[in-house]
A and B are shown apart, each in its own frame.
Chain A
Amino acid sequence: QTVVTQEPSFSVSPGGTVTLTCGLTSGSISTGYYPSWYQQTPGQAPRTLIYNTNTRSSGVPDRFSGSILGNKAALTITGAQADDESDYYCVLYMGSGIWVFGGGTKLTVL
């Protein structure tokens, strides 16, 4: 069974740049998986950041960007701010009506 992988945790300094990745235990991610990214703070519903690999959702600042890097999907935050400290999840469309979330990355800004 293919598992979607994410870094469990990451740390970035205020103003810094960080790239979170989303991979597969077997195979490479392409745009055909329609990777999307979601931000969640404790006690809140997720918020959509990026869809279709690199399209920002309405109202999302342009310091959030999505891409394919090598064999993974990636979320890059440029100029990290304190309120970017959140959990970040990717989800992939696996085909045949099935979606799979990654385990999430807890981002610390300090």
Chain B
Amino acid sequence: QVQLVESGGGVVQPGRSLRLSCAASGFTFSSYAMHWVRQAPGKGLEWVAVISYDGNKKYYADSMKGRFTISRDKSKNTLYLQMNSLRAEDTAVYYCAKEGYNYDIDYWGQGTLVTVSS
């Protein structure tokens, strides 16, 4: 079955960087686009970024553009999110998600919490 396991979250100071990882299994990782979605404490879901199945196309929400970088390693079946210049408002649970066939998300990880605080 499809499994998405995020890691790399934690407490980080404002202005610092953090890299999240998402280990994928149970499907052909190199055939599907992958997303990051975040959720600030007590708030709704916010789409962060998507990367195409082959890694050639990457798109970002405006508020993350220029600070966050999505990438993937097909040899490791792993998705990444490099987050730079972190701000307090980036504090959230970050979910890794697999795209389906119809511009939808069909599977979600359990999330990893990032806390930006001094």
Contact = CB atoms under 8 A, between A and B. Distances in A.
B26 to A, nearest CB: 14
Interface string A70-84: 000000000000000
Interface residues of B, number: 22
Given A38-B45, A96-B59, A101-B47, A45 B104 contact: no
Nearest to A46: B108
Given A45-B110, A99-B35, A91 B44 contact: no
Given A57-B106, A89-B44, A101-B44, A51 B100 contact: yes
A48 B106 CA distance: 6
B57 interface: yes
B88 interface: no
Contacts of B107: 48
Given A38-B45, A99-B35, A104-B44, A48 B105 contact: yes
Contacts, number: 65
Chain A, interface SS category:
strand
Interface residues of A, number: 25
A93 B33 CA distance: 14
A45 B108 contact: yes
Contacts of B44: 87, 89, 101-104
Interface in B77-118: 95, 100, 102-111
A67 interface: no
Interface of B: 35, 37, 44-47, 50, 57, 59, 61, 95, 100, 102-111
